[in-house]
Amino acid sequence: MPSLPRLLYLLNCPSRDYLIAAIVFGCVSLGLFLDGEASRLGQYALGACAWTILFLLLHGEDNQVRLQVAIAILAATLCEYTFAPMYHIYIYRFDNVPAYVPPGHGMVYLTAVALARSAFFKRYQRAITTGVLGVGAAWALWGVTFAARADTGGAVLFLVFAGFVFFGRSPRVYLGAFLITSYLELIGTYWGTWAWAEFWPSWGNLPQANPPSGIAAGYCFLDAIALTGAPWLACAIESGRRVLQAPRLAPIRVEVESEQSPREHEEYR
């Protein structure tokens, strides 16, 4: 097992993008398998491990990416507590939001970014786009035709995902998100970590599979929020720093001479 300095060295090597992706895919496989039988206390232990791994993965990243990850975690956590315990669009085993989910979203976003900037994605973007859209379209078509559980909602989400790929500002990030999130959803539902409702509750009542075929679209929304919000947050932080570091002018003491009456002036003489 590599030591911490060795691991940090590997995370700063030229192939760090592929290493990040490999680590996260491995963590998804192992973590969701363990959570399939974990208690609530075990979920907190998995959460502590996830936060530790995320901080290690962020070593060597610039502040812009770290801000993007932070925004993705905040936005995803808000969505998790809205969609799961409130609307029950999907339900975790304990009808909660497990402790590893917020850092897990950070790891998923970082993986999408790492894949997007990798040499492989840059060189074969067109082929990857064709492959991802082809697989996604086939999955969505299966869901609305031959699948035992209808997946109209998944097909709608796939169309949204395709819109992100064709018209979004960072198509490679969305392609990377499709790979990691589709794998994540298939593993998580397979091990029974969570389950999707049969219909979209309060969202048109469309039938959906477990998981929906185009669920990557939801993660694309989070990615877009992170990519758009990070520059604004960086400007706000820099402005606040300038205000705090601005030199303070020392107050000038002004002495005011008191006016004396002629009689008082004579007394002092």
Kindly state whether residue 251 falls inside one of the protein's structural domains.
Answer: no
Is the pLDDT at 151 greater than 70, yes or no? yes
Is 132 a domain residue? yes
Decide if pLDDT at 167 tops 60: yes
Short-list 221, 195, 213, CA closest to 154: 213
Q: Which domain covers residue 104, as residue numbers?
A: 4-234
pLDDT grade for 261, boundaries at 50, 70 and 90: low
- Does residue 261 fall inside a structural domain? no
Domain assignment present for residue 246? The answer is no
How long a stretch of residues is the chain?
269
Mean pLDDT of the chain: 88
Among 71-75, 77-81, 238-242, the minimum mean pLDDT is found in 238-242
> 159 lies in a domain?
yes
Structure-model confidence comparison of residues 1 and 80, the more confident one: 80
DSSP 198: S
Helix extents (H) in 36-170? 40-57, 63-83, 101-117, 119-123, 125-145, 152-167
Give yes or no for residue 234 having a pLDDT over 80: no
| pLDDT > 50? residue 269 | no
Structure tokens given for 129: 């786009």
For residue 252, being part of any structural domain is answered with no
| Domain presence at residue 205 | yes
pLDDT of residue 233: 76
Q: Do 176 and 112 form a contact (C-beta atoms < 8 A)? A: yes
Average pLDDT, integer, range 45-57: 97
pLDDT at 140 over 80: yes
Q: Please write down the HEC assignment for all residues of 42-81.
A: HHHHHHHHHHHHHHHHCCCCCHHHHHHHHHHHHHHHHHHH
Backbone angles phi, psi at 92, to 5 degrees: -80, 165
In a domain, residue 143? The reply is: yes
Q: How many structural domains is the chain composed of?
A: 1
Rounded to two decimals, the pTM is: 0.85
For residue 268, name the pLDDT band (cuts at 50, 70, 90): very low
